[in-house]
Amino acid sequence: EWRRLRRLAAPLALLMLDIDYFKPYNDALGHLAGDDALRKVSAALRESLQREGDTVCRCGGEEFAIILANTHQEGAEQVAASIHAAIASLDIKHPSSPLGRLTLSIGITVVDPVIDEQPGELLAQGDQALYHAKHEGRNRTCLWQPPVLDLHQAT
């Protein structure tokens, strides 16, 4: 898919998702409840994707990635909003969450078009955006922003 989008000079969005406070959830409710929550979240993620070719995968633990081909920033943000709504509608009780229910954080990065970037760079950017969403309070979406050069420090 990466090579095809590069050939077409088409955009690609990557969403990195992480279930908030999942270790305390597992610790409080047990691994069977954790496995059940993962299955429900995974199904909600798949159902949130509208187009054939949009791909969701579990990266490990409680982290997921979604690849949206031919998707610009606005489309990726719309998908993220629908995911947050879908997870909220599951209403999975979470005793260790400030909201009392299971939530997730999302990091978005977009390349438009896919030309010089490498898949590893995109994954790193998605992880940085996800970290920012967690740092900003969880249960939110953050868009990756390139670092800003501080001209005062450069001189």
Is 155 a residue whose pLDDT tops 60?
no
147 band by pLDDT with thresholds 50, 70 and 90: confident
Whether this model's pTM surpasses 0.85: yes
Burial of 102 (0-12, 13-18, 19+ CB in 10 A): buried
Backbone angles phi, psi at 102, to 5 degrees: -70, 135
- Map out the domains of the chain with their CATH numbers: 2-154 (3.30.70.270)
Residue 7 has what pLDDT? Answer: 80
The catalytic residue among 62, 74, 77, 117 is 62
Residue 2 has what pLDDT? Answer: 73
Residue 137 has what pLDDT? Answer: 94
Mean pLDDT of 75-82: 97
Q: Which amino acid is at 55?
A: T
Residue 118 has what pLDDT? Answer: 79
Is 111 a residue whose pLDDT tops 80?
yes
Residue 74 appears among annotated catalytic residues? no
Strand 55-60's sheet: what is its strand order? 55-60, 63-69, 12-19, 104-111, 141-143
